[in-house]
Amino acid sequence: MHKNKIYQKSLKDLNTFSIDVTAKKIIFVRSIQSLINICKTCNLSNIPYIILGEGSNVLFLENYKGIVIINRIKGIKVKEQINAWLLHVYSGEKWNDLVKYTLRMGFFGLENLALIPGCLGSAAIQNIGAYGLEFKNICQYVDIISLENSKIIRIKKDLCKFSYRDSIFKYKYKDKYAVLAVGIKIYKKWNPIIFKALLKNINITEVNPYKIYNSICQIRKKKLPNVNKLGNAGSFFKNPIISKKKAKKILSLYINIPHYLQIDGSIKISAAWLIEKYNFNNIQIGDAAIYKKQKLILINRKKAHPKEILKLAEIIQKSILKKFKIWLEPEIDFINAMGRIKLLKNI
Ligand code: FAD
Ligand code: EPU
């Protein structure tokens, strides 16, 4: 069995925003028992701790006073049913590694979620989504562990309260729980999810899972910044979901806003379009800026201080509220010296 490695170094390479802060200790965890032991020690000594996957959806605001646990609990178990493959995947597996594994194995259906950074644990917490597919569409269950009494609980999909970038793991099962593993069901009968941008790249008659995967990788590489070169955490804000009445009003003024009808009749509006339309004119606060090719992404050009990123986000929020009467809610998690905190809340 691997021993846990203990580092006393910066978190810079462990968060995709590339924020140069430190933690009291950084521990890579490779087994459930190690996770339990570390959390037990922290609980007894009142030391704060936080679990990270790839740090691709967080903004550290300052040095962290506790232990950062990097989850590398890995493993994929496969069971075959007559019409489907059932996968039990541990939460420290990288999401895109799983997508590639399923393609190699001939299990098709995850390809629309190609190239999303992060691990399986956060994929469930965040209900990741892209190009017509969300994690909830393929999830069967999520296994969590109580970090107080080590009890493992299986939460069936219907009880996970999945919605747009949201789940029960952000509320009821937060802080004193960790996501341990997820259950995924992939039907043998493949139903391609086709979206507009894909048709520009592929001929519909020649569509297959590998082509969709490659095409999405191509689109994403073109549109999104490479985290190894430019610090970012993907979309900084969520796309706002507003009432039909409010949408009608705003769409009468701005007919081109990309918008999407939701099942309950509300309307999702493109936040990137609102930011683009506002025209922030190459705004930059220190080293924090808006990514030119995708305006929903805030970037760390080199050595941005988290306060600069926050300031920029706040300016965007206030300006969009003033012009469009729409509040942009952050998609990412903010972490201060003691743990996750709520910031840039609705006013
Ligand atoms: P982290 O940032 O490490 O953690 C996120 C939060 O979850 C933290 O609060 C952390 O404490 C908590 N956490 C992590 N693991 C566990 C665990 N096992 N148990 C309990 N709590 C845990 N998202 C999309 O949905 N769609 C996209 O298309 C997309 N594109 C992106 C593109 C880029 C370039 C980037 C940088 C990000 C993108 N994202 C996208 C956002 C991000 O990839 C996802 O939110 C991803 O699921 C985060 O995974 P992570 O492992 O890096 O989470
Ligand atoms: N647009 C602009 N300006 C821009 C970018 C986009 O006007 O700078 C407009 C375009 O009309 C475009 C539309 O907005 O057609 C939608 O843009 P895009 O396809 O890039 O999607 P998005 O709504 O900005 C969401 C997710 C992404 C996900 C893509 C693809 C959120 C907050 N973001 O972005 O997820 O990859 O759809 O499905 O829902 C993330 O969550 O971190 C993330 C990157």
The beta-carbon contacts of 130-133 under 8 Å, at least 24 apart in sequence, are: 130/216, 131/193, 131/195, 131/197, 131/198, 131/216, 132/193, 132/194, 132/195, 133/193
Name the β-bridge partners of 146: 177
* Atom 6 of ligand 2, residue of closest alpha carbon: 272
Q: How far is CA 221 from CA 49, 216, 227, in A?
A: 34, 8, 11
Annotated catalytic residue 111 = no
Q: Which fold has domain 5-71?
A: 3.30.43
Low-confidence ranges of the chain (pLDDT < 70): 1-8, 347
Which residue, 225, 340, 239, is CA-closest to 289?
A: 225
User: CATH number for the 225-341 domain, one of 3.90.78.10, 3.40.50.2300, 3.20.20.140, 3.90.180.10?
Assistant: 3.90.78.10
Under 8 Å between Cβ of 275 and 212? no
Sequence ranges of the domains in the chain: 5-71, 76-220, 225-341
DSSP-derived secondary structure letter, 267: E
Q: Which of 111, 235, 270, 308 is catalytic?
A: 235
Candidate from 270, 280, 282, 299 with most ligand 2 atoms within 8 A of CB, to mutate: 270
Q: Which residue has the tokens 């069901």?
A: 185
Number of neighbouring beta carbons within 10 Å of residue 107: 20
Q: Cα(154)–Cα(236) distance, rounded to whole angstroms? A: 31
Mind giving me the DSSP string for 298-310?
EEE-SS--HHHHH
Q: Cα(9)–Cα(20) distance, rounded to whole angstroms? A: 10
Confidence at residue 3, expressed as pLDDT on a 0 to 100 scale? 53
Confidence at residue 7, expressed as pLDDT on a 0 to 100 scale? 47
The two most distant CA atoms of the chain are separated, in Å, by 62
Q: How far apart are the first and last CA of the chain?
A: 50
Q: Which of 18, 30, 165, 167 is catalytic?
A: 165
Confidence at residue 137, expressed as pLDDT on a 0 to 100 scale? 98
Name the β-bridge partners of 77: 88
Annotated catalytic residue 340 = no
Residue 224 CA, ligand 2 centroid: distance in Å: 10
- For residues 129-144, one letter each, b for 16 or more C-beta atoms within 10 angstroms of the residue's C-beta and e for the rest, the string is bbbebbbbbbbebbbb
Q: Is 88 helix (H, G, I), strand (E, B) or coil?
A: strand
pLDDT digits (tens, 9 = 90+) for 163-218: 999 999 999 999 999 999 999 999 999 999 998 888 888 888 889 999 999 999 99
Q: Is 3 helix (H, G, I), strand (E, B) or coil?
A: coil
Atom of ligand 2 nearest to the CA of 233: 42
User: CATH number for the 76-220 domain, one of 3.30.70.1290, 1.10.3720.10, 3.30.465.10, 3.40.50.2300?
Assistant: 3.30.465.10
Handedness of CA 238, 240, 346, 274 (dihedral sign): positive
Confidence at residue 1, expressed as pLDDT on a 0 to 100 scale? 41
Residues lining ligand 2, Cβ inside 6 A:
130-131, 234-235, 238-239, 258, 270, 272-273, 276, 294-296, 331
Mind giving me the DSSP string for 137-204?
GTEEEEEEEETTT--EEEEEGGGS--BTTB-GGGTTT-SSEEEEEEEEEEESS------HHHHHHS-G
State the average pLDDT for the chain: 96
Candidate from 16, 219, 235 with most ligand 2 atoms within 8 A of CB, to mutate: 235
pLDDT digits (tens, 9 = 90+) for 105-115: 999 999 999 99
